[in-house]
A and B are shown apart, each in its own frame.
Chain A
């Protein structure tokens, strides 16, 4: 433990000193050298303290993380102040140092073990959150620091501004694509898939005849039917919903049929011994034991639905919708707007998935995969 700790912290201090040596950090950014110096000094102190005790306590990590936050704030200042004059190599060295400290700190948080599930969960969430923030930070300083043309990749800050600035457009796109096409198609597709699978399960002939075909269809590039659906159902959201229906139907069918077969022979025989009929067995035993499979399909479909609706919009839409916005704004090279739209799609997709996952947790709480692991 001590050895690795040394490596990261020593690397941080060395890189920090190297950064100082190559000052000026930014052209005309001399003002920030004291701040940087302070950061390096603080790193040294913390490292010295940690080496003696080891990063054993959580507060060690907390200090390191705070240090990183402070350093990152200074860096952001520097890189934005530098503007057209690019930051020098010292800036990047300093950020490498920051990275080493961040890694050490996060490693400490990741190692956190505690008996209270709530606190453990909080810290388990901290780690990926910090990782995401760090990526955003790297994106920002990378884009600004290297002067990446905005057309190629806008900085997150800029995307954020654009996002806030055009909430009304984003909302109407969201309503058109998500609330109408995605949700409508999803409900119809999953619902019909579910009902047909019960029918298929009832008729062994269909089970043997339809299921292999359904399995095959799941591997096919179904989004390709989008132009046909647009031709059949017109430009508005109905055609997108139709694509979503087709895309979500087969995963649901295949998964539910598999799930209905999942109840064990002994459990079934138990139902038989109670003289339970088909429907009773279905509702009391087979549907509950099929639920993990059903939810698996619901989760797969939540992503597929969004993809289907947006891709279908590339083949023609009224002048509203997320896919429409993406393709037209790309044409106008308004890449920040595209990214704002992507952010909406990502948020909607994650929230949708999260909602389904939450429902799954409440319905199939008994499933072994949710048991607390010791």
Chain B
């Protein structure tokens, strides 16, 4: 699959020859320097962008059909909460669009806010929450219509490292609990290694896959794992892959 943008300065090959399969229940991280097309790849999967050539299938149907079926939840870099809705009504937004009954909507919102440890914050407005809490609310919003697939685009990129570590642990336990498939875009090596079952290393101009690394850490891992030699080995391989892509030369 590939994607070409036509611009005034001539075509830009955003992605080329991407071939990737994600299995059910996997946690796949896309990692690479900025401009390598990892976000674009995710947006193609979400049918927010169309590839110029090639095919994307989500659960056996086209990306477009998957979007029409609301088969995935998308978490953006920013929380993108609506400032005029309180947390509960932000979380129920997709349910409103689907046309779910009010009672059921509230039930769902409570359940998923509980899941991301935001119980009791239903009536607060976004600006009353910290950045990390806002992002958790947006994860609850992506989960609440119970899609099989979770697409996350650097969801913790704007947060500081301490909050990020904490959320990483929470995300991991969430993933273990719900068994969703997750595709996760990041530019942090420790984050990718810590979270994933598989790491896809990408390089820019054109965006392409350099390396795919399987990790086999236990599902209930903790942050301590980052001190182990296996972890460092995987992290090293990722770093090697990034370097091989000449990603920082130009």
Direct contact of A and B (CB under 8 A): yes
Identify the A interface with B (CB < 8 A).
115, 374
Q: How far is the CA of A374 from the CA of B9 in the complex (A)?
A: 12
Q: Does B98 contact A (CB under 8 A)?
A: no
Q: List 4 A-B contacts (CB under 8 A).
A: A115-B6, A115-B7, A115-B8, A374-B7
* Chain B residues with a Cβ closer than 8 Å to the other chain, count: 3
Chain A residues, Cβ within 8 Å of B8: 115
1/0 per residue B1-18: CB within 8 Å of A?
A: 000001110000000000
Give Cα A115–Cα B6 distance, bound, in whole angstroms.
Answer: 9
What B residues does A374 contact at CB under 8 A?
A: 7
How far is it, in angstroms, between the C-alpha of A374 and the C-alpha of B6 when the chains are bound? 11
Q: For the complex, give the distance between the alpha carbons of A115 and B9 in Å.
A: 9
With a cutoff of 8 Å between Cβ atoms, the chain B residues found around residue A115 in the complex are 6-8
CB of B243, distance to nearest CB on chain A (Å): 31
Closest CB in chain B relative to A185 CB, distance in Å = 43
A203 smallest CB distance to B (angstroms): 35
Inter-chain CA distance A374–B7, complex, in Å, is: 8
What CA separation (Å) do A316 and B7 show in the bound complex?
60
Query: Distance in Å from the Cβ of B9 to the closest Cβ of chain A?
Result: 9
Determine the distance from Cα of A85 to Cα of B178 in the docked complex, in whole angstroms. 80
- Top 4 nearest A-B pairs (CB, nearest first) are A115-B8, A374-B7, A115-B6, A115-B7
How far, in Å, is A246 (CB) from chain B's closest CB?
40
Closest to A115 in B: B8
Which of chain B's residues has its CB closest to A116's CB?
B8
Q: How far is the CB of A12 from chain B (nearest CB, A)?
A: 33
B126 to A: closest C-beta gap in Å: 25
Which residues of B11-30 are within 8 A (CB) of A? none
Q: Give, as a whole number of angstroms, the nearest-CB distance from B42 to chain A.
A: 20
Distance A168 CA – B116 CA, assembled complex (angstroms): 78
CA A374 – CA B8 in complex, angstroms? 9
Q: Which B-chain residue is minimally distant from A372 (CB atoms)?
A: B8
Interfacial chain A residues near B6, Cβ < 8 Å: 115
A194 to chain B, nearest CB (A): 36
B4 to chain A, nearest CB (A): 14
- Give the residue name and chain of the B residue nearest to A114 (CB): B8
CA of A220 to CA of B242 in the docked complex: distance in angstroms?
A: 64
Task: Tell me the minimal C-beta distance from B43 to chain A in angstroms.
Answer: 16
Closest Cβ–Cβ distance, residue A267 to chain B (whole Å) = 24
- The residue in chain A whose Cβ has the minimal distance to the Cβ of B5 is A374
A374 nearest in chain B by CB position: B7
Chain A residues with Cβ under 8 A from B7's Cβ? 115, 374
Cβ contacts B138-176/A at 8 Å (1 or 0 each): 000000000000000000000000000000000000000
CA distance A115 to B7 in the complex (A): 7
Closest partner residue, chain B, to A117 (CB atom): B8
Distance in angstroms from A224 CB to nearest chain B CB is 39
Complex Cα spacing A115 to B12, Å: 14
Query: Roughly how many angstroms separate A115 CA and B8 CA in the complex, as a whole number?
Result: 5
Residue in A closest to B10 when the chains form the complex, CB atoms: A115
B8, chain A: closest CB distance, angstroms: 5
Chain B nearest CB: distance from A116 CB in Å? 8
Q: Which residue of B is nearest A113, CB measured?
A: B6
* Chain B nearest CB, measured from A179 CB (Å): 43
Residue of A whose beta carbon sits closest to that of B6: A115
Min CB–CB distance B229 → chain A (angstroms):
45
- A1: shortest Cβ distance to chain B, in Å? 16
What's the least CB distance linking A163 to chain B, in Å?
A: 43
> From residue A374, how far is it (CB to closest CB) to chain B in Å?
7
Least distance between B6 CB and chain A CB atoms (Å): 8
